[in-house]
Structure 1
Amino acid sequence: MDEFARVAEGLEAAWAAGTDDERKRLGPRLDSALVGAAGLDGGAAVLARRARLADLLAEIDGCRDRAAGHLRGILDSQVRLLDAGHPDLVFSRAALAGADPGGKGVEVLEGLLGEIGARHAVGAYVRLRLGQAYDRGGDVHTARRVLRRAVPDAVRVAGADHPYTLGLRFALIDVYERDTVRYAGLHRGALRAFRSLVGAQRQYHRAIESLERLHGSGAPVVLVNLERLADLYERMGTLGAATAQYEYALQWHEFRHGADAPQTRAARDTLARVYLRGRHPERAVPLYAAGGEEEAGDALDDLAEAHLAAGDDAAAHDVYERLLVLLAARDGADAPETVRYMAEVGEAFDEAGRPARAVVWHERVVESLTRAEPRDERALAVAQEHLAAARAGLAQSGT
């Protein structure tokens, strides 16, 4: 029994601090712990802990049926030991109603809520599962109402940092974020969509504050939600706030994982993209440059775009040259993919109003297509037209 308590405590702690991906990987361990504990005779305390683990298992995609099976066995034992209104028994009944695919979860949960009201912290848990059951059933309006009203009650009864309160906040965020998509597609839905985004933003801020108190600033689960909040700000068009959140997340990724870690590179690339969108290419350039040659491909192309947007066409030209060397080594100097790339670079310089650079790249395209066997006359004619237009632009510019 002591061993089970130790394992369960570790799993619960890992779940609380874990990101979505980390939680999914806990599925087999949760199931294994539940199977191993099925024969323990530890009384109500062990049954309650098993129910909590089964409840976590039910939140993982594809594990709900397995979790429901565990919960039925736990409930059979709890019914013989506990009074009908005991919080542990209420929890297990609510967990099973939330996990059971039978479709009667709403009825069971409404009944439970009628029995206990909001007197105990477990009432917040019942309302969480009730809101989610309505949401899964397609009644988004009721789900939103249940969850929104439950959050302040959970803060008052269980506390702002309680797992039930956090669960309610994230369930409400899910509803709000899907509301934004749904309303945005409706006639006169823009205001409702914006209000839903604002609602999600408020819940994110409160949830992140709790997660920082529980796990510390820069913890993985905190960073994931900081980046989700930043993405939300970006979708709202509030680029200043989004940029600040992405910058903060990148600093923590660099501190925790190092400059070359995959998480740091992803955060750096995201921030660079936001800088470009916010018309600050001069800030994006050093971020792309920090990636190194191992991030060639798209990263080099992004770096060149940043240089070009910043007005440094010579630096952009040099980066495009580096990528051309990689492509030519991989596909061949006159391969269709390489020629297409050179044409795209020429067009990028055309669009940026740099005809001198555009001429260089269009000339290369014409030379490659002229050498090709068999020759693609149509593609060659198009390339010659682009080259003529670039030369005309160069002549007009007088440079």
Structure 2
Amino acid sequence: MLAGKRILLIISGGIAAFKMPQLIRLLRAQGATVCPVMTSSAHEFITPLTVSSLAGEKVYTNLFDLTDETEMGHIQLSRVADLVVVAPATANLIGKMAQGLCDDLASTLLLATDTQVLVAPAMNVRMWLNPATQRNAAQLRKDGVRFVGPVDGDMACGEYGPGRMVEPEQILDAIAGFFIDGPLAGKHILVTSGPTHEPIDPVRYIANRSSGAQGTSIARALVALGAHVTFVTGPADVAPPDGVTLVQVETAQQMLQAVETALPADAAIFAAAVADWRVASASGSKIKKRKGTLPTLEFAENPDILARVAQMPSGRPRLVVGFAAETDDVVAHATAKRQRKGCDWIVANDVSPATGIMGGSENAVVLISDAGVEEWPRMSKADVAMRLADKIATALTV
């Protein structure tokens, strides 16, 4: 799939740089040519000799190297690649990209390129969650820069949380996604999936029985048609799909923030089973059981993510698809939900216990749109996803 593709790999100064030799090996095994660029900070974590030996190419490091400028100037270097990949992408380099700053070779190449850019962030959890970094990442997404990760995980500094770079295999999948031909090539589609967990205390939470299987199948089907998919998922039972920009969340409020950060998009598919309520004031310590007394929980309503996106005054995705899991009067309730939320389509199903659909491998859905009610036969969730993806492709390419 990557045979003949030229990847400009920009390595910045983070501990995750030690994983770049593996990414280079994977890319070359797929037939890609890797042209490496290293920041001066990257030299603290991995040597140019290692990178050059594995890539089989010269490593570019200095903006003012007269030899390099004679052989291949930085403007030409920024234009000859089929894709620019920044991995690891530090908070500093992400900030430069968002603000249009260029004081070294890497940032100058990123400002001068007319090629698509993929970044794999890697930094401390607090740095990633800092409002400044989130603003910078949101700006880059609006500018068309694609992200893969970060994910939750152990940090080299000893902390845990979002900010860990995804593994080289996931970066490879994301790179391959740029070169898939199909009716959705060049389209950005947002998919939410899985349940949300709303904490009661550090050991208890409110959730539902969603496995995330249907949302995951939809994301896979969209990727197969060439779409760039941002996949926002709660704590699902199934593994996330390959080839997507993965954003993992726990709560409804975190999912809303992730959705807003991922926009704009050509379409948004809301397959997640978001909890309607949360505990208004979750306890910071475990609520102890006391004989003869019951805890009193005060609930608050969670944000309505589907309605917020469907009713956006500007920047609304061209196609907004919601899901309705019902146990009775499926069509009536789903039709009312579509009108209430303001979405284009509703995919409804009967999840009463007798159907075995909730958490199972099959689904039987009804698609409700302006065109009317379309009943689909019971089939595997993968087949439902393929059928829905085909309809999305038709809607977005008309």
Q: TM-score range by the shorter chain?
A: under 0.3
- Of structures 1 and 2, the larger Rg is shown by 1
TM-score normalised by structure 2 residue count: 0.27
* Between structures 1 and 2, the one with greater strand share: 2
TM-score normalised by structure 1 residue count: 0.27
* Between structures 1 and 2, the one with greater helix share: 1
Larger RCO (CA under 8 A, 6+ residues apart): 2
